[in-house]
Amino acid sequence: MNYNNIKYIFFKELRSFFNSPVAYIVIVVYLIILGWFFTSNLFITNLATLRTVFEMTPFLLLFFAPAMTMRLISEEKKSGTLELLITKPIMEYEIITGKFLASWALYFFTLLPTLCYYITLVFIGSLDTGSVIGGYLGLMLVGAVFLAVSVFGSSVTENQVVAFITSLFIVFVLFMLDKVLFYMPSSIGTIMEYLSIDYHFSNIARGVIDSRDIIYYISAVGFSLFMATVVLQKRRWV
């Protein structure tokens, strides 16, 4: 693996995010929606808690992750610039990794301003620092999976709208798996529960760092990026 190639793709994509309205629209819209729910919950319940941030962010990511990544590969396919990248001494997995890391970095910058909620609550109440750290770690891991899946969704088509819908469908299914366990046999329910993104996040958000949850997230990201790489490799030989 050539880390210089990954770094080149990473900074190229990150610059393209912030040189266009994409990054600013994502960050502003996310903060407006989350801020409304946070302040409403704070004044209604009168409790110093970040639970609203941790509960709403995965739901918002269902739409934001596909929107952030839908152009990453599909646009390059449509414009023909992907062929130029592939002809250079750069491997497909380096392209995928660099683009994924750039979208993950954008997600990090989107989450960063929410630390002001934590600072505000520290002054008006007491917070469990362990659960806050676990919550933000969980959000970064959930975001990694959603973004990796969405990168795969962007790799299978040249149409950005189709990429968005494909990614939204996959992440929605992964998000909802543990919500329909009541209707499933116990043998299948156990498997579906383990495959559910939200099930693993709920454990980490409570401040419980379990190796099984970490392994799940790493495996989900790795598998999604691997599938995206396979799609690009097939394109090289077509």
Mean pLDDT, to the nearest integer, of 163-183? 83
Predicted pLDDT of residue 188: 75
Average pLDDT estimate for 201-209: 75
Residue 191 has pLDDT above 80, yes or no: no
Whether residue 238 is predicted with pLDDT greater than 60 in this model: the reply is no
Residue 173 confidence class, pLDDT cut points 50, 70, 90? confident
Over range 160-188, report the average pLDDT.
Answer: 81
| Cβ-based neighbour number of residue 5 at 10 Å | 19
Give per-residue pLDDT as tens, 35-79. Answer: 888 887 777 766 667 778 888 888 889 898 998 888 888 887 777
Average pLDDT (211-228) is: 91
Whole-number Å distance between alpha carbons of 109 and 23: 9
Average pLDDT over residues 175-203: 74
Q: What is the pLDDT of residue 194?
A: 76
Q: Provide the pLDDT confidence category of residue 3 given band limits of 50, 70 and 90.
A: confident
Q: What is the pTM of this model?
A: 0.89
pLDDT at 1 over 80: no
Alpha carbons within 13 angstroms on the beta-carbon side of residue 159 total 4
129-149: average pLDDT:
88
pLDDT at position 225: 94
pLDDT of residue 200: 81
Q: What is the model's pLDDT at position 102?
A: 93
Q: How far apart are CA 49 and CA 127, in angstroms?
A: 7
pLDDT digits (tens, 9 = 90+) for 77-136: 777 766 666 666 778 888 899 999 999 999 999 999 988 888 888 777 677 777 788 888
